[in-house]
């Protein structure tokens, strides 16, 4: 496997990076740690002529408990004991990404924008050539749902659900200045596995912002994958909980690895606010969330199994956060 030729640009400031990204438009990609982009380029997946590398933009590399620069390496956050103690769920999610070697290069911004995955897409050029390609790269049909002209590639980042349940925001720099959005609003629920986020041309994620409330809640992240120290999530469940005695003050649950975007389940958690978090309530909410999701057959584990595991992982996450022991639904 080899890289096709590209032109590398190395801006020294966010302003320069935005200008280059705007100038080259769809002919360029941003390069952060390169742990997702470059393996994809080696497989000749949607290669661009220009790469705008963010490695020299010093302002993107600092982090505090309130603000994490987009170019902060996952390994740096892992080694930060105050960070781990303050955001246990987020720290769990970071520790579950790939391998320690990958996390030494991988960045927070790159993790939020990681390419969606599908076993018909994440294959060598020769493998795809023998099948005839697909909508997401070089082809004109979807092998997963051939009757639809839509891509179902799965959002497989670990951090987005964990940040979503903490109500984190992201700061975005673009040609018209800075804007801030809730982290899950970065993703396009009405889009597909190709057009998966709401970043406009020339826009760059510059930081993640964590609100005061993120430091008050308990949080956790549970990941289903095949090899425990390597694989992308087949399912990732993040949960945060704030209890007033046994009553729920705040509860959020989000999932990755199921659809084309990370998803929060407020419609099921909101009715529990003010009510006690009982074993029955945990079992019921786990069951409701499980029934609402529709994974497709484009990752390694069968969709039915991943769906059933949603209930198991939600239940385990809530048991861990509340100390309440629940029963699996019949």
Applying CB under 6 A, which of residues 18, 94, 113, 144 lies at the interface with ligand FAD? 113
Cα–Cα nearest to 205, from 106, 60, 73: 60
Q: Spell out, one character per residue from 132 to 171, where the chain touches ligand FAD: x when CB under 6 A holds, - when not.
A: -------------------------xx-------------
- Is residue 251 at the binding interface for ligand FAD, with CB under 6 A as the rule? no
Residue owning tokens 């673009």: 174
Instruction: Based on the shown chain and the rule CB under 6 A, indicate whether residue 109 belongs to the binding site for ligand FAD.
Output: yes
The site partner of 298 among ligand SF4, ligand FAD, none (C-beta below 5 to 8 Å per kind) is ligand SF4
Given the rule CB under 6 A, which of 142-150, 160-168, 219-227, 241-249 is the region that contacts ligand SF4? Answer: 142-150
* DSSP state at residue 100: H
Question: Could you give the angle at the alpha carbon of 59 between the alpha carbons of 262 and 79, nearest 5°?
Answer: 65
Question: Using the rule CB under 6 A, is 118 a contact of ligand SF4?
Answer: yes
In what helix (H) or strand (E) does residue 68 lie, and over which residues does it extend? strand 67-69
Which three-class secondary structure state does DSSP give residue 251? strand
Find the farthest-apart pair of alpha carbons in the chain and give their distance in angstroms, rounded. Answer: 60
Distance between first and last Cα of the chain: 49
Site string (279-298) toward ligand SF4, x via CB under 6 A: -------------------x
Check binding of 153 to ligand SF4 (CB under 6 A). Answer: yes
d(CA 80, CA 72): 12
Q: Is 144 in the site for ligand SF4 (CB under 6 A)?
A: yes
Instruction: List contacts with ligand SF4 (CB under 6 A).
Output: 118, 120-121, 134-136, 142-144, 151-153, 193, 298
């Amino acid at each position: 496997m080899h890289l096709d030729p590209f032109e590398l640009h190395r801006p020294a400031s966010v302003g320069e990076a935005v200008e280059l990204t705007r100038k080259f438009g769809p002919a360029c990609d941003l390069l952060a740690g390169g742990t997702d982009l470059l393996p994809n380029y080696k497989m000749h997946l949607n290669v661009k002529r220009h790469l705008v590398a963010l490695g020299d933009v010093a302002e993107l590399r600092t982090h505090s408990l309130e603000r994490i620069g987009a170019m902060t390496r996952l390994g740096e956050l892992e080694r930060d004991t105050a960070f781990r103690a303050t955001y246990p769920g987020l720290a769990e999610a970071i520790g579950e990404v790939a391998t320690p070697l990958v996390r030494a290069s991988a960045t927070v911004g790159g993790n939020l924008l990681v390419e969606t995955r599908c076993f018909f897409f994440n294959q060598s050029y020769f493998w795809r050539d023998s099948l005839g390609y697909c909508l997401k790269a070089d082809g004109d049909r979807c092998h997963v749902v051939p009757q639809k002209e839509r891509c179902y590639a799965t959002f497989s980042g670990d951090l987005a659900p964990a940040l979503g349940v903490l109500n984190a925001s992201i700061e975005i720099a673009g040609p018209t200045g800075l804007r801030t959005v809730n982290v899950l609003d970065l993703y396009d629920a009405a889009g597909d596995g190709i057009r998966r986020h709401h970043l406009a041309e020339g826009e760059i994620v510059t930081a993640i912002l964590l609100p005061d409330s993120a430091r008050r809640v308990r949080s956790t992240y549970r990941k289903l994958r095949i090899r425990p120290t390597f694989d992308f999530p087949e399912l990732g469940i993040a949960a945060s909980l704030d209890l007033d005695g046994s009553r729920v003050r705040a509860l959020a649950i989000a999932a990755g690895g199921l659809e084309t975007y990370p998803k929060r389940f407020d419609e099921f958690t909101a009715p529990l606010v003010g009510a006690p978090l009982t074993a029955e309530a945990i079992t019921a909410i786990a069951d409701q969330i499980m029934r609402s999701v529709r994974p497709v057959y484009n990752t390694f584990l069968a969709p039915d199994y991943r769906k059933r595991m949603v209930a198991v992982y939600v239940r385990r996450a809530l048991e861990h956060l509340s100390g309440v022991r629940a029963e699996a639904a019949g």
